[in-house]
A and B are shown apart, each in its own frame.
Chain A
Amino acid sequence: MTLFLAVLIPFAGAALVALASRLGRSLSAWAAGGVTLASLALLAPLAPLPFAGETLVQQQDWMPALGLNLAFRLDGLALLFAGLILGIGLLIVLYARYYLSERDSMGRFYAYLMLFMGSMLGIVLSENLIQLLIFWELTSLSSFLLISYWQHREGARRGARMALAVTGLGGFAMLGGFLLIGHIVGSYELSDVFASGDLIREHPLYVPTLILILLGVFTKSAQFPFHFWLPHAMAAPTPVSAYLHSATMVKAGVFLLARLWPALSGTPEWFWLVSGAGLATLLLGAYVALFKHDLKGLLAYSTISHLGLITLLFGLSTPLAAVAGVFHIINHATFKASLFMAAGIIDHEAGTRDMRRLSGLWQYMPYTATLAMVAAAAMAGVPLMNGFLSKEMFFAEAVHIAEGHLGGWVLPALVTLAGAFAVAYSLRFIHNVFFNGEPADLPKTPHEPPRWMKAPVEVLVVLCLVVGIAPALTVGPLLAVAAAGTLQAPLPDYHLALWHGFNTALMMSLVALALGATLYLLRRPLFAWHERTLARLDARVPYNALVGGLVGLAGFITRTFDTGSLQRQVFLFILAALTLGLVPWFAGGTPLTGGRAGLPLDAVSLVAAAALILATLATVVWHRRRFTALVTLGVVGLVVSLAFIKFSAPDLALTQLSVEIVTIVLLLLALHFLPQHAAPEPDRARVGRDAAIALTAGAGTAALAWAVLTRPYDTIAGYFLENSKPGGGGTNVVNVILVDFRGYDTLGEITVLALAGLGIVALLQNLRLTAPLRDAAGRVWDADAHPVIMATLTRILLPLALMVAVFILLRGHNQPGGGFIAGLITAVALIVQYLASGAAWTHQRMRASPPHPNPPPHAGEGANAGPTPTAAPPSPQPSPRPGEGANAGPTPTAAPPSPQPSPRPGEGANAGPTPVYDSHPLLAWGLGIATFTGLASWAFDHPFLTSTFGYLNWPVVGKFEVASAMAFDLGVFLVVVGATLMILTGLGGLHRAEPGTKETR
């Protein structure tokens, strides 16, 4: 996995570099250089392979089922790019060491740079397309970091975001394209893709595939109309521009063109799309570059233009054009990187990059000027420079392609024009900066840069020259393997030489040189004209409008949809439910009424139903007369329980009745603290709309109920009726279902109840409400808080009620009743004490006595071995209310009502004036008993909650049943008592909070 390692090293190196920076600034530069060299060293031994015509593919399974594997490929093209990335990378590392100022963090810069380098290497060495895309996106991300390196600058932030957005767009599109390729080919491996070129080109999805991939390419390589991000990315430090925006990242796009050339090129679509975009970019970039006053801006547009040139070459689809493209990639990387570095030096030494201020630098930095001039000459395509050679090939291809077509002169003319502009802006770069009189008020006095800052430029400039003069000897072999890697086919016949004789291409070059010089001479009127007209066209404006529009649209959608109104949410939900419920019926074919015969109607039911309907309507109509609505709600509850009784559900009726009362008490408690007068309805339309949807919902449920009721059905109920007695040991089937067949539901249900209690306790914390001093009509409350007659009588009721509760609890298994109802009865009996005698009085009395009756002994002796609460009256509890939480000491334990609840010493110290009964132990006991009953069955090798029962025969008492389910029911009972008390006493305790108490956490 050498290739994998070579890619991995820079990533690992990023961390190393960041760490090294803690030890010293130069150290991180050294580390970065070392990392680059290491990667280079790893690849170098493999370099001969492509030269020998071999393609190295290394593969490691990752997600084989999905066709996504770690696969790396080293062929000529990959080798060329890897060399460029690492070689120029090394120079950049060196250059940046001197470029960055004291204030800039070296470690961060080099770490980002290494990340980028690794990503870039990943792209070029990928064999798998998806893997390639992963690295592709990584370059976007790391370039975001690099561009925004000077994050305090507005331009850097904006530029970085714009670059990310545009290249991100391309990345996502390209993902789509690659997926389509994978779909067509059946593999993401390049080897397979290359082999399936014809398959791809003939596939109906070819055009979408091509467009998606080209979107990726064009955005990355700044092709028109996505070119605009590149100039803004110039806010990055110059080494970044030199590296990313000349040699590497922007080349990723054209790399991909080269990479997929064998698979995608050769169709008219390819030709028109690619060469069209290339040509447009070539012209546009060259034109705009001339008018940029910022040195880096000029270079950026020049880069755009040259990328257009390369794109155009690949678009031409001939092998020779592809070779020329590859060649120009190499040449452009060398001269443009050196120019960027030169621009950086100028910026660094002169303090500005504005060409309106720069001039005459020749006298201050002649050496740098020389280097820059050579590189600029290469950019302009002056003979003896490498730029000339590839441009020659380009011109030749342009002519060749255009030959024989109608209007065949257009393309050669246009490219010559672009060449002329290239000459003009190169001239401007040289003349304006280094000559053209004396410099005007520069921030610094310019001088030559440090030795090692120039070195990278020197290396590159020498390369420009060497290649330009003796191409066949120098770059020839590399170009050959790279081109072979691009074409994945035998190379066309071409000849690398400085002199090809007087041919059309040479003529075009000469014309371009002459025209370029003329353009530069005519620059003043041209500049003026440009300022008046085209300069006002800025691609950033539509981009910003687009982004702004998107954000605005997003805001609009979000605000329109999410108004923060609960009513709207509920409305939408009900509307959705109605839609979902109604849609199936439109298909027809299902009658609403089934074939089951119904029961006859009787008068009592009619009266009751009428009362229920009227009471419901009254509740709705009078909902703003709150107390009255509460009373009518009570009627509704009563009639509902009557219905349960009528239709053979005594258990339900009992439950409903108890719940009903507790709910009313709760609502009364709430009513006291809520505004007594409701605000008026906002508008009638709202009411009408709500009424309409409410009626529809009502009609819907009624129809649903009717549809089910009139249909016969098969049910699993028979099993329960048969097995209740023999299997569950009880004759009340509902109760047996609850504690046995579906005891798990019940366990969950009591957990809900316990959670409600606990949640309410948590919610009540810090809750301070001021109780109104007058009632709705403005009357002062009655002075008598605890009417004697009520208090006395309710005290008598308590033991009676407890007795009834025990009775209901015990019989539950066989007759209507059970833990839940018994628990509610107990809780209600205690609540009445609160009602009649007050919280303080009741709490005092509950502290020392268990609020529940001691369960009869035999209930605890079944399978459940746990201690019954008989032995464990809840221990006294100090107030858990947070308001009194000032006591820092550990609040006395409460907890497991242990058989010997000896209170800790010192407990009384923080017992407030009004002790509050703590129901937590009850809750814990209840849940604990229920859970433990379930767990106990494990001891007998049965699943959770398996019940058991038996019959005991005691003297005198006689035969009676003992069932583990009864213990479970006891747990239910305790939870209900605990939770209900917890809720009600918590609420009842609210008023004790002194109004205006400062909240404390």
Chain B
Amino acid sequence: MSLLDHLAILPVVLPLVVGIVLIVLRNAPRALQRGVAVAATLALLPLALALIQATGDGTHLVYKLGNWEAPYGIVLVADRLAAWMLLTTALLAVFALLYALTAPVPQPSPQTGEGANAGPTPTYDRDGRHFHVLFQLQLFGLNGAFLTGDLFNLFVFFEILLLASYGLMLHGGGRQRVKAGLHYVVINLVGSTLFLFAVGTLYGVTGTLNMADLAVKLAATPPHNAALVQSAALLLFGVFALKAALLPLTLWLPAAYAQTSAPVAALFAIMTKVGAYSILRVYSLIAGEAAGPLTGLLDAWLVPLALATLALGMAGAMASTSLRQQTAWLVVASIGTLLVAFGLGSADALAAGLYYLPHSTFATAALFLLADSIARGRGEFADRFESGPAMPRARLVGGLFFAVAVAVAGLPPLSGFLGKFMLLQAALESPWMPWVWPVVLATGLLGVVALARSGSLLFYRTHTAHAELPAPANAALAPVVGLLALIVGLVLAAGPLSDFTAATAAQLTAPQHYIDAVLGGAR
């Protein structure tokens, strides 16, 4: 076996090993730590691309951990969807990390009640201990979750990425952050409990944990077990919905994302997508066309909830009083849009959702990063929507804000528009169309209105500064530019990319291939 045969596990093992190395290097010169962290994160890119390449022809790369056959051992399954998620994660991680390395932590404003501190402001990765370790292990958790083909293993990786995210979320501390973090942690712990109840029940009925095997077993569920497995599958949905922040389980998100540090919030842009991914992965397998009592299980739930989430997200964005808060609500809205696509379930809709997924990830991440620069540039006014001093380099930052806002609002010519276009087009065939269209279109408009108001307040309605404010460094803006470049890339390469997502969607709507690839050896 060459290293290439281990391709499916490399994106998982690499961050783990690097995480361990970084624990070892915790007292080494900072440059070395950073170098290792950046190199490792960058290295995920070629790996993800190689996986895209390897799965591009429809192959399911099945990696049998411990060399045990499929339903017994744990398998990793890399298909187009997994590769797509990995690539998105890797790209996002690079920029989030770069930002953490270069941008200085904002001075705590008097409002947050922290004492003023003297001395040079550190960058985010120096604001607390173990940033890089936590960051790498977060990637370990994310990549593991995207690749696993085992339901319980998914739980384990959920926990890894959650615990790493707790550490990252609370990194640096502070009153509001700790409060938001406490909520985030507790609600997710309750969620994990539910995950176990659901997995347990599924095992108790089917006697298996492998997702492909589960799909087979569940499809053959006898009628006297129907409600039981439906119940379990819906509970599982509840867990994923919580991670995805689907209504009514949204409430943890706005505070958590708004209060954490900018690079972490940016990285978290992918976190809700894990929930969405899981919904897609699991229910495309166990609730597909020929899934016995589970057929169409989520049909009645997902779309209305996602639409409500979208609406609530936009309402929150309209009502927000600071940019970070608004961005957090926009994350909610974007997840709503994404899940509308997943909920519609047709191949076209899935393709639209999958195209929209990296877009919304990059766009909201960019907005988080930019909000941080803005907050720093406006001194004590931070990112609150109040008339404040004109920030230094307002033209440049304002221009970036405009571009990012266009992306987030889903306006042309950026990829958000294309995603929504694809989504609306796909919705045409669906009975949900009379609901999807008005909500998606109306919330799009609300997003424009809300962001126009924010931009106008932050950049236009200014008075002269009475104090010297720090200008945002190029280094802090570069990741934003980078993410924007990715979004532009999504537009320019929309053809091939949408073909890829269409192929991915086709793969997902025909789960039999997945099942055969995983169980082929055992049967």
Enumerate chain A interface residues (CB-CB to B < 8 A): 61-66, 68, 108, 130, 133-138, 141, 144-145, 148, 151-152, 154, 157, 160-161, 164-165, 168-169, 172-173, 175-176, 179-180, 182-183, 547, 550-551, 553-555, 557-559, 561-562, 564, 566, 568-570, 572-577, 580-585, 587, 589-591, 594, 701, 704, 707-709, 711, 713-717, 719-720, 723, 727, 740-745, 747-749, 751-752, 754-756, 758-759, 761-763, 765-767, 880, 882, 890-896, 920-921, 923-924, 927-928, 931, 934-935, 937-938, 941-947, 998-1001
Contacts and interface: CB of A to CB of B under 8 A. Distances in A.
A34 B160 CA distance: 59
Contacts of A763: 167, 170, 173
B8 to A, nearest CB: 9
B312 interface: yes
B510 interface: no
A353 to B, nearest CB: 23
Contact of A572 (B164, B249, B453): B249
B449 to A, nearest CB: 5
Contact of B412 (A134, A589, A766, A998): A134
B72 A741 contact: yes
Given A581-B231, A590-B227, A944 B9 contact: yes
B134 A943 contact: no
A749 B157 CA distance: 8
Given A555-B318, A716-B71, A759-B134, A137 B417 contact: yes
Contacts of A583: 231, 234
A61 B499 CA distance: 12
Contacts of A701: 197
A550 B314 CA distance: 11
A557 B312 CA distance: 8
Contacts of A564: 255
Query: Majority SS of interface residues in chain A?
Result: helix
B156 A748 contact: yes
A923 B173 contact: no
B42 interface: no
Contact of A892 (B27, B413, B452, B499): B27
Contacts of B159: 748, 752
B488 interface: no
B380 interface: no
Interface residues of B, number: 138
Interface stretch (B47-55, B87-95, B202-210, B270-278): B202-210
A151 B460 contact: yes
B64 interface: yes
15 contacts: A63-B498, A66-B421, A66-B425, A148-B460, A160-B452, A555-B319, A589-B227, A713-B204, A714-B206, A716-B71, A740-B68, A742-B73, A748-B156, A759-B163, A944-B66
B400 interface: no
A575 B301 CA distance: 15
B160 A752 contact: yes
Contacts of B153: 742, 744-745, 748
Q: Which 6 residue pairs spanning A and B have beta carbons closest together?
A: A715-B207, A759-B167, A590-B227, A584-B230, A554-B318, A134-B412
B6 A133 contact: no
Nearest to A11: B413
B62 to A, nearest CB: 10
Contacts of A1001: 117, 119, 122, 127
Contacts of B460: 148, 151-152, 157
Nearest to B69: A719
Contacts of B208: 715-716
Nearest to B114: A999
Contacts of B412: 133-138
A748 B20 CA distance: 13
Given A66-B425, A151-B460, A931 B17 contact: yes
A32 to B, nearest CB: 18
A229 to B, nearest CB: 13
B73 A574 contact: no
A938 B122 CA distance: 41
Contacts of B133: 758
Contacts of A945: 65-66
Contacts of B237: 580
A944 B6 contact: yes
B187 A63 contact: no
B16 interface: yes
A205 to B, nearest CB: 10
Contact of B190 (A165, A573, A723): A573
Interface in B237-268: 237-238, 241-242, 248-252, 254-255
A208 B40 CA distance: 53
Contacts of A148: 456, 460
A927 to B, nearest CB: 5
B223 A589 contact: yes
B144 interface: yes
Contacts of A65: 495, 498-499, 502
B205 A713 contact: yes
Nearest to A923: B23
Contacts of B250: 562
A880 B23 CA distance: 13
Interface string B53-67: 000000000011111
Given A755-B164, A938-B6, A946-B66, A924 B24 contact: yes
A168 B449 contact: yes
Contacts of A999: 114-115, 117
Contacts of B191: 573
B140 interface: yes
B198 to A, nearest CB: 9
A895 B26 contact: yes
B452 A944 contact: no
B517 interface: no
Given A569-B183, A584-B234, A719-B72, A165 B452 contact: yes
Q: Which of A559, A742, A748, A938 has the most CB of B within 10 A?
A: A748
Contact of B170 (A572, A762, A880): A762
Interface in B315-357: 315-319, 329
B401 interface: no
B521 interface: no
Interface string B166-190: 1100110100000000110011001
A924 B203 CA distance: 34
B467 interface: no
Contacts of B65: 743-744, 943-945
A473 to B, nearest CB: 41
Given A570-B187, A946-B66, A946-B67, A756 B163 contact: yes
A935 B12 CA distance: 12
Contact of B156 (A709, A723, A752, A765): A752
Q: Which of A704, A717, A741, A934 has the most CB of B within 10 A?
A: A704
B422 to A, nearest CB: 6
Q: Which of B23, B72, B225, B406 has the most CB of A within 10 A?
A: B23
B393 interface: no
A450 B180 CA distance: 62
A203 to B, nearest CB: 13
Given A66-B422, A894-B27, A581 B235 contact: yes
A894 B22 CA distance: 12
B23 A551 contact: no
A584 B205 contact: no
B152 interface: yes
Nearest to B188: A573
Contacts of B102: none
Contacts of B232: 704
A138 B406 CA distance: 10
B445 interface: yes
Nearest to B460: A151
